[in-house]
A and B are shown apart, each in its own frame.
Chain A
Amino acid sequence: MRTITRLLKREKRGISTVIVVMLSLVLVVIIVGNVVLWSYQMNQVDLERTQETLTIANVTRMEPAGLSIEVKNTGAVSLHLVAVWVSDSTEHQRYDADVFLNAGESVTYNRTDIALPSGAFLAKVVTERGNMAVFSED
Chain B
Amino acid sequence: MKKKIFKRFLRDKRAITPVLSHLLLTVVAVAIMSLATSATFVITTNMKETMGERVVVEDVWFNGATGTVNVYLRNVGKADIQISGVYVNHVGQSFNGNASRLQVNKQGWLSIACSWEAGKAYYIDIVTNRGTHIADYYKAP
Contact = CB atoms under 8 A, between A and B. Distances in A.
Interface of A: 23, 27, 30-31, 34-35, 38-39, 41-42, 45, 83, 85, 87, 89-90, 92, 94, 124, 126, 128-130, 132
B140 to A, nearest CB: 11
A128 B76 contact: yes
Contacts of A38: 47-48, 51-52
- Mostly, the A contact residues are mixed
- Mostly, the B contact residues are mixed
A27 B51 contact: no
B78 interface: yes
A28 to B, nearest CB: 9
Interface of B: 33, 36-37, 40, 43-44, 47-48, 51-52, 54, 56, 58-59, 61, 64-65, 70, 72, 74, 76, 78, 141
B54 A85 contact: no
B76 A129 contact: yes
B36 A27 contact: yes
Given A42-B51, A42-B52, A89-B141, A23 B33 contact: yes
Contacts of B59: 85, 87, 92, 94, 124
Contacts of A90: 64-65
Given A27-B36, A42-B78, A89-B141, A130 B56 contact: yes
B43 A132 contact: no
